Amino acid sequence: MAKTPPEPPRPLTINDVASAAGVSKSTVSLVLQGSPLIREETAARVREAAASIGYVYNRRAADLRRKSSNVVGVVINDLMNPFFAELLVGIERKLAQADYITLMAHTDENLELQTKVLQSMREHHAAGIILCPALGTPPALVKQVRAWGIPLLVMVRSLGKGDYDYAGSDNERGTFLATEHMLAAGHTQIGFLGGQTGAVFDDRLRGYRKALRAHGVAEQAELIRSAKPTREGGYTSLQQLLALKPRPTAAVCYNDIVALGALAALGERGIQAGREFAVIGFDGILDTAHANPPLSTMDVHPGGLGESAAELMLERLKHPEAGRLRFLAEPTLLLRTSG
């Protein structure tokens, strides 16, 4: 006669953990969720009891029950730019300290892909979303995400006026200071390279124009060269600038990547950056210190900016009803050989 197979063991529950730790079920639940409401010695006892009986917390199931998670979605528009990689490191570091997991997605400036990514994060019950918007993102997106009940922080690229949370840098002030430095060094034919229509581009261009006016220098439309904020954009726009008569002697760049492209164009022509033609970038990415020659830049400390953005998101998650949260990094001139 065949033996009846033994019944599988009953799955462990938080009731078992509560019994082993000598606390209530609600206390166990709060400890497993990382709540600060429980004293550390009690929390340690609960974790030790869970480990001793072999209980494993099913965070995904808990997330589904709560319709939220410990995941913060971060949507980046251009990971080819080291600025955003450094920014992401700062975000991830700060969120990890608060026991949040970063779920990153890259849109490559594609609005359709951005829509799909945001929808996916909604379906995965993201606790919050930090968004570097793709070019052309409509301001109405803020209301759309809010309607989902998910906190949204817009970062780096503004979506115009509104009461949404925002973390970025004082772009107008940064390009004003860069242009003012060029003017003080005796340059009057100063180009502005890179950037396309949009709030960030407009802010940086506005600072350039403001400095020219402040020093009584007439703006020349041919010195403003709109281009993709890439190395290729910087390379091409600098070539266009060098073809002008009289030839300009300096350029303020939309970002560091554009400036690195400009340095390549100068090197190809045998023009010494810093001595024969001055270049200043914007962002302060690590690569600027090792450019040839080392690149002067308006430093906004990308990693620190990322940490500040994460802090705003954590503050919003703690206080959902708080007023608008905002952080603006103050750019500082990091002067090196090129400028």
DSSP H or E stretch at residue 105: strand 101-106
Residues 88-105 as b or e (16 or more Cβ within 10 Å = b): bebbbebbeeeebebbbb
Q: Cα–Cα distance between 144 and 30 in angstroms, integer?
A: 31
Domain 69-169+302-329 matches domain 171-301 at the CATH topology level: yes
Tokens 């609600």, residue located: 26
- pLDDT tens string 247-283: 999 999 999 999 999 999 999 999 999 999 999 999 9
- pLDDT tens string 56-91: 766 555 555 555 578 999 999 999 999 999 999 999
CB of 136 closer than 8 Å to CB of 144: no
CB of 193 closer than 8 Å to CB of 227: yes
CATH superfamily ID and name for 69-169+302-329: Response regulator (3.40.50.2300)
The pTM assigned to this predicted structure is: 0.79
Domain boundaries, the chain: 14-57, 69-169+302-329, 171-301
CATH class of 171-301: alpha beta
Using DSSP, state whether 42 is helix, strand or coil. Answer: helix
CB of 142 closer than 8 Å to CB of 130: no
Q: Cα–Cα distance between 131 and 141 in angstroms, integer?
A: 11
Q: How many helices (H) and strands (E) does the chain have?
A: 12, 12
Q: Cα–Cα distance between 130 and 72 in angstroms, integer?
A: 7
Q: Cα–Cα distance between 192 and 226 in angstroms, integer?
A: 8
Helix, strand and coil in the chain, % to nearest 5: 45, 15, 40
Query: Is residue 12 very low, low, confident or very high in pLDDT (cuts 50, 70, 90)?
Result: confident
- pLDDT tens string 220-247: 999 999 999 999 999 999 999 999 999 9
